[in-house]
Amino acid sequence: MSYLFTSESVSEGHPDKVADQISDALIDHFLAYDKNSKVACETLVTTGQVVLAGEVKSEAYLDVQQIARNVINKIGYTKSEYMFNGDSCGVISAIHEQSPDINQGVDRTLDETDFETRANAQGAGDQGMMFGYATNETENYMPLALDLAHQILKELADLRRDGSAIPYLRPDAKSQVTIEYSDDHKPVRIDSIVVSTQHDDFGSEEAMLAKIKRDIIEILIPKIKAKQKPEIQQLFNGDIKYHINPTGKFVIGGPHGDTGLTGRKIIVDTYGGKGAHGGGAFSGKDPSKVDRSAAYATRHIAKNLVAAGVADEVLVQVSYAIGVAEPCGLYINTYGTSKLDINDGELAKKVQQLFDLRPYAVEKNLKLRNPIYIETAAYGHMGKDYYVADKTFNKGLKNEITLKDLEFFTWEKLDRVEDIKKEFGL
């Protein structure tokens, strides 16, 4: 019997995502000026106010207030009528030094060139379990419902910034996509699409809602459809149920409409409810926190396994004890789609030999000490393209620096496919 599966996404202007982006901007600046920084930074945003809190061990001194304001302005909160404006909101910092009790198991002074000693000595920043997932139903090995939900909001943000086709858009928005699957887990059609977008107050509620619905269905959705492969385009049939701003007008939004906090959109950040999630947020954490680094590492493993043809769908779990380098365990589930003649338990043992999951090794192999994190903080940490670029910090100030050839989304590289094929004779 066929079934429905739903995933949602939120825009960069959603209050929780505003908080995530501020926290990750702070991480990037700390790492840019001191690559050994240890940071766990939380952000709260509400009407006219930003609160920064957390623990930091770093040689860098930052103007955290200005960093927060720059992020807010870049997102698009630049008008007084939004009741949250990067230039005028209050910014309170309650950031303090990291607990030495936590730091002692993570930050140990060792020869930087001695990889093995460091890898064995640097323990995990916390206990817990982390998951990575991949499926071959999309080109980027992400679940289709989530991938489409992200695309809807990225395109909506582009339309907002352009301002010509849909001039009334404001930064806050959410999307949701429900897909019907067949018995053999193949997408058959899109059942429903939900889009809620903040907007200017430009007329009667009835007139506003009619125009917004028309513009979303006739301008936004065709742009999304046109970017899909033919087999995905076929899922956009005339029977899709659209729910556009279903509660009515959405003028009051962003941090004025709802308080935002770092780490409240962890399913949007990962796989849209497919696979599993260990519960730990990513944004605001330096890579010594395995909540972040090990989630990237397990995505890297899952994606390379699927790309190598090991299985159509793979879930990878790794777990740690605080202060201990070696993982407590590695678990793999191929959901019955494995192409190998070994079971998933044996597959996990071989994968553990292929991939070094000690926290320091993960940091080094995926180059996670680079300031690459604000780019992850909206529209998902997984499924984006790997790329190399320069990045400038504190532009125009006396301490401006430009870091060359930074590698972004290293966990999305398909650089272990040949190793996996060789190991399993594929």
Q: Is 174 annotated as a binding residue?
A: yes
Expressed in percent and rounded to 5, the helix, strand and coil fractions of the chain are: 35, 25, 40
Cross-strand bridge partners of residue 193: 177, 242
DSSP string, 336-385: T---SSS-HHHHHHHHHHHS--SHHHHHHHTTTTSS--GGGSSS-SSSPP
Cβ burial of 215 (10 Å; 0-12, 13-18, 19+) is buried
What is the rounded CA–CA span in Å between residue 19 and residue 43? 5
Letter string b/e over residues 216-245, b meaning 16 or more CB atoms within 10 A of that residue's CB:
beeebbeebeeebeeebeebbeeebeeebb
Place of tokens 């079971």: 343
What is the rounded CA–CA span in Å between residue 109 and residue 325? 15
- Within 10 angstroms of residue 323's Cβ, the number of other Cβ atoms is 16
Q: Is 206 annotated as a binding residue?
A: no
What is the rounded CA–CA span in Å between residue 355 and residue 334? 18
Q: Is 422 annotated as a binding residue?
A: no
What is the rounded CA–CA span in Å between residue 123 and residue 320? 9
- The DSSP secondary-structure symbol of 208 reads H
Q: Is 116 annotated as a binding residue?
A: no
Give the distance, in angstroms, between the CA of residue 424 and the centroid of all CA atoms in the same chain: 31
Q: Is 229 annotated as a binding residue?
A: no
Q: Is 295 annotated as a binding residue?
A: no
Contact between 170 and 203 under an 8 Å Cβ cutoff? The reply is no
Contact between 275 and 145 under an 8 Å Cβ cutoff? The reply is no
Cross-strand bridge partners of residue 407: 388
Of 33, 38, 40, the residue nearest 283 (C-alpha) = 40
Q: Is 265 annotated as a binding residue?
A: yes
What is the rounded CA–CA span in Å between residue 376 and residue 218? 30
Q: Is 172 annotated as a binding residue?
A: yes
Q: Is 289 annotated as a binding residue?
A: yes
Binding residues, by number, are 14, 16, 42, 55, 98, 172-174, 249-250, 258, 264-265, 281, 285, 289
Binding residues for K(+), by number, are 42
Binding residues for L-methionine, by number, are 55, 98, 258, 289
Binding residues for Mg(2+), by number, are 16
Binding residues for ATP, by number, are 14, 172-174, 249-250, 258, 264-265, 281, 285
